[in-house]
Amino acid sequence: MTTKTRPGDLVKLRHLDAKMVGAVYDRYFPDIFIFVNSRLKDARVAEEITNEVFIRLLKMVNLGLTPRTRLKTWLLGAASHLIVTHLNNSKNNLSEP
């Protein structure tokens, strides 16, 4: 299966086409999950963060915005930001008395 996003995919995603949303999730979830889990070494948290990546994508397309890069690149970038946020929040929680 190819992971290249076709132009029509983003149009369908923008209209929140249920089949396209499911296809995007199925196509990219494994790669995003592996990326997040390889950095956090916690499958539960990795799954939560990966799901949040897709929630953010849907919120963005619901506002009429689409990724300016390839979809997978955008998803990985969003995952990176969420990983940093998670690690910063974990660090702050450990330093509080």
Q: What is the pLDDT of residues 28-80, one digit of tens each?
A: 999 999 999 999 999 999 999 999 999 999 998 888 887 777 899 999 999 99
> In this model, does residue 4 exceed pLDDT 70?
no
**Cα–Cα distance, 63 to 48 (Å, whole number):** 23
pLDDT at 1: 41
CATH, range 7-95: 1.10.1740.10
Mean pLDDT computed over 10-20:
79
Amino acid (one-letter) located at 18: A
- The answer, as to whether pTM is greater than 0.75, is yes
Q: Any idea which residue has 């979830």 for tokens?
A: 29
8 Å CB contact between 21 and 58: yes
Q: Where are the domains of the chain?
A: 7-95
**Cα–Cα distance, 51 to 46 (Å, whole number):** 9
